[in-house]
Chain A
Amino acid sequence: MRDLVTSVFLRGITAPEAMAMDDGAAIPWGDKWLVVTTDAHVVSPVEFPGGDIGRLSVCGVVNDLAMMGATDVLALTSAVIVEEGFDLARLSRLSESARRASDEASAPILAGDTKVMRRGELDGIVLSTSGLAVAERVVRDAGMRVDDAIVVTGTIGDHGLAVLAARERLGLDGALVSDVAPLNGLVRTALAAVGDAIHAMKDPTRGGVVSALSEMATKAGVAVHLSAQAIPMSAPVRAASELLGIDPLWVANEGKALIVVERDAVEPLLRALRDHPLGRDAAAIGHVAAGEPGALLLDTGFGTRRLFERDGEPLPRIC
């Protein structure tokens, strides 16, 4: 996907803010910053345990803004493209769910647009959402420094496995629940607790923790060491991932942040995060080190292995 963006969409683009390929772009605004971002969402099924595409579209944008330190959302816009014949009651539920998420995040949806496409021209529904927010200080995903600690704000793998289990009707329902949630409140708490000690943030969505950390480490020209024992994971996620042969480290999250922080600030940061309902399982999972830029090393307790980004959907294995 990143290759596609670089080779097609970034051709001829010279604006540094776009070239940075961060979660959003920051524009100076008085002594503060305006951060703008946009996100398109497709998901199957559109309703899944723990959320739906409406909630996902709002949280996706709010979280991208929050990862840049922009936690006060001025406005969201929402474009809905829907297939002819899409169930109206379901459409109302999705809209209501998006509105609830926008309330939770204090992120008002102020403009919108709707298009209907003919049956078969679209698989159900596509949502495209943009957002505008204010940051006191912009946090970049490229800011990792050697010796920084890496904190994850909670358990990993919940969203991707919940959606996979629902889509493929694996009969694992009930236990697997998406974590989709707006993170701007949690990030505000983190920034209030340790401020400038936070050097970088990113939400580990598609491609999971591995993809997010690889990208951050590549941009910063550093390596990352993780400890497998420290990575928080719910029992159902652990069980489902073993069953399916899918490693949660590569699975999407929609309500978690990776926060790169000065080592001395880890304890106060963890205390602040754990006091917030969305950060109860926050944990320090590794550190930044000098080394091959972008390299990710996992200490399993039995040995060390390198983690690499993977293309495409994870496929469950046979036995």
Chain B
Amino acid sequence: MSGARPLELRDVERGRKLRERLARAVERAGREITVMHVCGSHEQAMARYGLRQSLPRALRVQMGPGCPVCVTDAPEIDAVITLAEAGHLVLTYGDMLRVPGRAGSLDDARAAGARVEVIYSATQALERARATRDPVIFFATGFETTAVATAAILLQAPPDNLFVYSAHKWVPAAMEVVACSPGSRIEGYLAAGHAATITGYGVFEPFVAAHQRPVVVAGFEPLDILAGLVSLVDLVARGEPRVVNAFPRCVSREGNRRALDALRRVFRAGDGEWRGIACVPGGELQLRDAYAAWDAMRRFEDLLERAPERAERVDARDCRCGAIMTGLAEPTDCAHFGVACRPESPIGACMVSSEGPCRIWLEHRVAPPRPAAHEGDAP
């Protein structure tokens, strides 16, 4: 990374001009426009730079299923907790640690004595496994971006004590589900620049053709997001359903061929549950049979099958995370938001990760939390 580049992309004056262009574009449209971003990093960057507050009123930018931590399903977390509780070493990315399964999180399991360690890259899982003979289980979570890293370690002849529990997800499949969901008013999509760096922007062409909605690929600097929104609003206003690459310094039409090749060699797309959303056809990246020897799901099948199903917390049943991630509700529509559900005691997954919409809204007070029911009552 060059030292000057990030600062150049945060140039305040250029930002002001882009905000003006965006305001004019929305004004020209002469009506309310609703678009969706499909990436937690976009929401986070918008909150971090205070962009949401400075957007034109008639432009609604909704959050899509773009937080990998949030869409990892509770039973997947439960399964990994079962493995940890059985005495196996479990490695996880840090922001998965506090995500509640149906009962408790990996962090809770760790506090109760299970061996759960945080790693920062898939390579560390490989190193950890090479340093021991005991089974090492890597809870592999995230979208296309991190899935490639998982694929890369499996292609390096890993030791036979490394086991991957894949909860990797494929974002384009979830966009289909969102676009087809009844009641969706989304007129255009802002796609994640880093994921598109891998997949290429061509991956969105069939989507655009099928749903007649434009997709703009955007990066994560404030100027990237503003430029992406200007382009998206223009396409929506003109009724022009096509893919625009607003992140050309990283994204090509074909994507990263080596990465895609690694992904395809190691994973196949299967149907899988995205937490709170739906079973997404083709949304789950499962290990191919050739990698069965390293597949934690297969290696520990007996243990996982024997584990009793964990009961869901009562207050988790009316958690709105699913509706929030499909753009049908906002965090403030949830009765738990900021009251019972807080970063230190999350009920839903969206309150855990720094990319979770609820966490972002609460920490940046995008909107005030609802007062608790007892507050304001007459004494």
Q: What residues make up the interface of A, taking CB atoms closer than 8 Å to B?
A: 168-170, 229, 235, 238-239, 242, 244-245, 247, 298-306, 308, 310-312, 315-319
Contact = CB atoms under 8 A, between A and B. Distances in A.
B62 interface: no
A318 B142 contact: yes
A245 B354 contact: yes
Contacts of A244: 120
Given A247-B48, A303-B51, A303-B53, A319 B97 contact: no
Interface string B6-17: 100010100100
Interface in B38-70: 41, 44, 47-54, 68-69
A319 B68 contact: yes
Give the interface centre of B19, B94, B355 by most chain A CB atoms within 10 Å.
B94
Interface in B81-121: 93-98, 118, 120
A305 B146 contact: no
Contacts of A317: 69, 93-95, 353-355
Give the interface centre of A170, A312, A316, A317 by most chain B CB atoms within 10 Å.
A317
A-side binding surface: helix, strand, loop or mixed?
A: loop
21 contacts: A168-B120, A239-B1, A242-B1, A245-B44, A299-B50, A300-B49, A300-B222, A303-B54, A304-B50, A304-B53, A305-B47, A305-B48, A306-B364, A308-B363, A315-B98, A315-B118, A316-B93, A316-B94, A317-B94, A319-B68, A319-B145
A316 B41 contact: no
B41 A319 contact: yes
Contacts of A298: 50
B152 to A, nearest CB: 15
Contact of A311 (B120, B344, B355): B344
B201 interface: no
Given A239-B1, A315-B95, A315-B354, A305 B49 contact: yes
A308 B145 CA distance: 30
Contacts, number: 95
A105 B342 CA distance: 42
Nearest to B18: A302
A161 to B, nearest CB: 13
B365 A308 contact: yes
Contact of A318 (B47, B49, B53, B141): B141
Contacts of B124: 169
Given A301-B10, A302-B15, A302-B222, A315 B94 contact: yes
A283 to B, nearest CB: 16
Contacts of B343: 310-312
Interface string B336-368: 000000011000000001110000000111000
Given A302-B15, A317-B93, 4 more contacts: A301-B15, A302-B10, A308-B365, A319-B41
A316 B52 contact: no
Contacts of B165: none
B3 interface: yes
A308 B15 CA distance: 25
A43 B134 CA distance: 29
A244 B146 CA distance: 14
A154 to B, nearest CB: 18
Give the interface centre of B3, B49, B96, B226 by most chain A CB atoms within 10 Å.
B49
Contacts of B54: 302-303
